[in-house]
Amino acid sequence: MGTSFVLLVVTIMGIFIRTHEAQLAYDYYKFSCPFVESTVRTEMLKIFLSDISSPAAFVRLLFHDCQVQADANIPGPGISLNKLLHIFTSHGMTIEESVSMLGAHTLGVGHCLNIASRLYDGNPDDQMNLGFEAHLKWKCPTRVPLTNLTFVPIDSTPIAFDNQYFKDLLMGKALFGIDSTIARDPLTNPIVTRFATDQDYFFKVFSSAFVKLSSTKVLTAKEGEVRRQCYRRN
């Protein structure tokens, strides 16, 4: 279930391509590369099967590396709820869809650098589960990380695309400040609770939000270019 969901998501990413009319089209490669969707799907599957961390890297790519770098405004792990909502509502998302986007943190890992502040600067309003806190302090023992190599899973099932992330948040097992914020704020707590209890509903909202994320603010026509070689500009 997890892998097929990520495959679907990556295929969606692959087929939103620019057109000359400055709009996006599903069939942009209809003539120049008619089997692009199945080719991408087959190649992605090979990568996913050979590298367990790759689904997280691909999902992460769309937001952290594409959307955000384009804005030159990289949000940190302690970003406020207002700023978070500003980022996603500017992509045409509802508050519920904005919260679902953080559900991408169901996959992957975080490094001590991004956890240390929450762990050592202490916010009495933001209590973690004690066992979870002890585990994190064992993994990240110093305020300034000694290396950049230590990482911990963002939720307790880091290779499955599921709703465990939201369940963990409600148990005080949020890794980053913003993850904890959406579980505690009265505006977003009911949404987190619903996603934690109804995985199908989370998938439904996430899918619609992900399409909005990947299809808005894309550079079209003369603003961007379709690369002939994907690793360098034309």
Provide the CA 67 distance to its chain's centre, in angstroms. 11
126 is in an annotated binding site: no
Which residue's CB is nearer to ligand HEM, number 196 or number 213?
A: 213
178 versus 196: smaller Cβ distance to ligand HEM: 178
Q: Is 107 in the site for ligand HEM (CB under 6 A)?
A: yes
Tokens encoding 152: 């911990």
- Are the C-beta atoms of residues 104 and 63 closer than 8 Å to each other? yes
Task: State the number of binding residues for ligand HEM (CB under 6 A).
Answer: 25
Cβ proximity of 170 and 183 under 8 Å: yes
Could you tell me which of 119, 156, 124, 165 has the C-alpha nearest to residue 140? 119
User: Which residue is listed with tokens 């097992």?
Assistant: 173
**Which secondary structure element, helix H or strand E, spans residue 17, and what is its range?**
strand 17-18
**Rounded to whole angstroms, how far apart are CA atoms 84 and 192?**
15
Angle between helices 177-184 and 95-102 (to 10 degrees): 140
Question: If binding is defined by CB under 6 A, does position 176 make contact with ligand HEM?
Answer: yes
Nearest residue to the partner ligand HEM, using Cβ: 108
**Residue 30 CB, nearest approach to ligand HEM (Å):** 27
Q: Pick between residue 28 and residue 58 the one whose CB is nearest to ligand HEM.
A: 58
- Decide if residue 84 touches ligand HEM (CB under 6 A): yes
Residue from 13, 18, 28, 77 touching ligand HEM (CB under 6 A): that is 77
CA angle 125, 192, 134 (to 5 degrees): 45
**In angstroms, what is the minimal distance from the CB of 123 to ligand HEM?**
16
Residue 51, annotated ligand binder? no
Which one, 10 or 56, has the nearer CB to ligand HEM? Answer: 56
**94 is known to lie in a ligand binding site:** no
- Under rule CB under 6 A, residue 108 binds ligand HEM: yes
Choose, by CB under 6 A, the member of 10, 44, 85, 104 that binds ligand HEM. 104
Q: Contact, 158 vs 107, CB < 8 A?
A: yes
**Segment 57-76, which members bind ligand HEM (CB under 6 A)?**
57, 59-60, 62-64, 75
Indicate whether 105 belongs to the interface with ligand HEM (CB under 6 A): yes
* Alpha-helical segments (H) within the chain: 2-15, 36-50, 54-60, 68-71, 81-89, 95-102, 116-120, 130-139, 164-170, 177-184, 189-197, 199-215
Q: Which residues are annotated as a binding site for substrate?
A: 75
Q: Which residues are annotated as a binding site for Ca(2+)?
A: 106, 155, 157, 162
Binding residues (CB under 6 A) for ligand HEM: these are 53, 56-57, 59-60, 62-64, 75, 77, 79, 84, 87, 101-102, 104-105, 107-111, 114, 176, 178
